[in-house]
Homo-oligomer: A and B are copies of this chain.
Amino acid sequence: MKESFFFEILTPQEAKARFFSCWKEKPRPHEFLPLEAALGRVVAMDITVRCDLPAFFKSTVDGYAVRAADTFGASEGLPAYLSVVGEVLIGHPPAFKVGPGEAAWIPTGGMLPEGADAVVMVEHTEPLDERTIEVKKPIGPGENVIRPGEDFPEGAVAIEKGRKLTPQDIGLLAALGVTEVPVVIPPKVAILSTGDEVVPPHVDPGPAQVRDINSYTLGAMVREEGGIPVPYGIVPDLYDPLLDALRQAVEECDLILVSGGSSVGPRDLVAQAIHALGEPGVVVHGVSMKPGKPTLLAIADGVPVVGLPGHPTTVMIVFHVFVREILWKLLGLRSRPRLPVVAKMGRRIASAPGREDYLRVMLEERGGELWAIPLLGKSGLISTMVKADGLVRVPLEREGLEVGEPVEVWIW
């Protein structure tokens, strides 16, 4: 066993700063996926436009392709008369030109005939006979037309490296003809539960035993963020088996999550084992937040290791505050990952300054407004965690929150 490390309580901000200053990320490998399978994945390199989008002068309305100059001065009383020389068929390049004084029917999405530089909406025209229309409004060059490259010019970056692909990105990639997408290979996240009282969910717990909750909650949270959870099961509260399991996890995975050790003895055991894994070892042990004070952040030869106190709710909160951000870095994510919902605080809450409090809240709609109702109760209860829609943070410097004040709710 290594000698004991310094135990110092940091604020959540300080803890993050120290952790990220100690951690040197390795570049993430990538793979190519078919477009249909790339939703929610993070793009591994800039994707550039290979051909102008659109590739041709394209009408955005149903109407007549014209030379704009022919409509200058046109009005209800003094319309411009144009001869119809053809009809553009959707999907086909027109085989004719539009000369001065001429027009051609064109549908939305149709390709402008040579000579035309604008499209008059059908609503602003009137047929005079089979071959002639009246135009009752002047139109400027380029009106109701998208020019080649106006949407995305050739060579432009269409999707930047680090973006998590949304449905509209998938549509854009289809438009660009990118059918195989370079995406970051998701990090593998080892999940270990500790505790002599913990049994797997398929086992009927004996007296004084409980089923493993944290492995499953953590696995689902990891999956939700885009990581691959790798379960390492329940490790007994003994130094050697714990160290062996952790060593294997560090070898096989990109991030290690160890939950449990809620009481003092096993907690120290977990800390000692994590510290022995590699350099620099434990860099944060103790954070001024509630719940989550015994949170532990470590790095073992480049692999981040997080020790989460064992209460199920605490596990979720520590994941929210620290693990998400580590995962985002491992995923190569650069786009904005999540946004809070704003609600009014439904109840006065007192809090000790110098500590961040995380409240579980339920959202309620009252007269069109969203209210955040704090769920109080013993921290060991799973029921409040399941009833809660999300978390509200009471900032470090505040002594509480007032009824009606707007708060940010992080949906979980």
- Interface membership of A4, Cβ < 8 A: no
* A residues at B contact (CB < 8 Å): 35-36, 39-40, 53-56, 58, 60, 62, 89-94, 107-111, 146, 150-152, 158-159, 166-179, 195-198, 201-221, 223-224, 237, 262-266, 310, 312, 316, 336, 339-342, 363, 370, 378-383, 385-386, 388-389, 411-412
Q: Is the CB of A216 within 8 A of B363?
A: no
Question: Least Cβ distance of A311 to chain B in Å?
Answer: 8
Among A206, A221, A339, residue most surrounded by chain B Cβ atoms (within 10 Å): A339
Q: Report the separation of the CA atoms of residues A170 and B312 in the bound assembly, to the nearest whole angstrom.
A: 12
Given contacts A36-B219, A380-B58, contact A168 B211 (CB under 8 A): no
Q: Is the CB of B93 within 8 A of A208?
A: yes
Q: Report the separation of the CA atoms of residues A146 and B412 in the bound assembly, to the nearest whole angstrom.
A: 25
Q: Report the separation of the CA atoms of residues A171 and B216 in the bound assembly, to the nearest whole angstrom.
A: 5
Q: Report the separation of the CA atoms of residues A203 and B237 in the bound assembly, to the nearest whole angstrom.
A: 59
Given contacts A54-B210, A223-B39, contact A175 B92 (CB under 8 A): no
Q: Report the separation of the CA atoms of residues A412 and B370 in the bound assembly, to the nearest whole angstrom.
A: 20
Closest to A219 in B: B36
Chain B residues with Cβ under 8 A from A310's Cβ?
108-109
Given contacts A169-B386, A208-B111, contact A174 B146 (CB under 8 A): no
Chain B residues with Cβ under 8 A from A175's Cβ?
201, 210-211, 213, 312, 382
Contact of A146 among B178, B223, B312, B381 (CB under 8 A): B381
Chain B residues with Cβ under 8 A from A212's Cβ?
174
Q: Is the CB of B341 within 8 A of A35?
A: no
Chain B residues with Cβ under 8 A from A386's Cβ?
158-159, 168-169, 171-172
Question: Least Cβ distance of A97 to chain B in Å?
Answer: 15
Q: Is the CB of B207 within 8 A of A93?
A: yes
Question: Least Cβ distance of A309 to chain B in Å?
Answer: 9
Chain B residues with Cβ under 8 A from A56's Cβ?
207-208
Q: Is the CB of B263 within 8 A of A62?
A: yes
Chain B residues with Cβ under 8 A from A173's Cβ?
201, 216
Q: Report the separation of the CA atoms of residues A213 and B382 in the bound assembly, to the nearest whole angstrom.
A: 44
Given contacts A36-B219, A109-B262, A263-B107, contact A168 B385 (CB under 8 A): yes
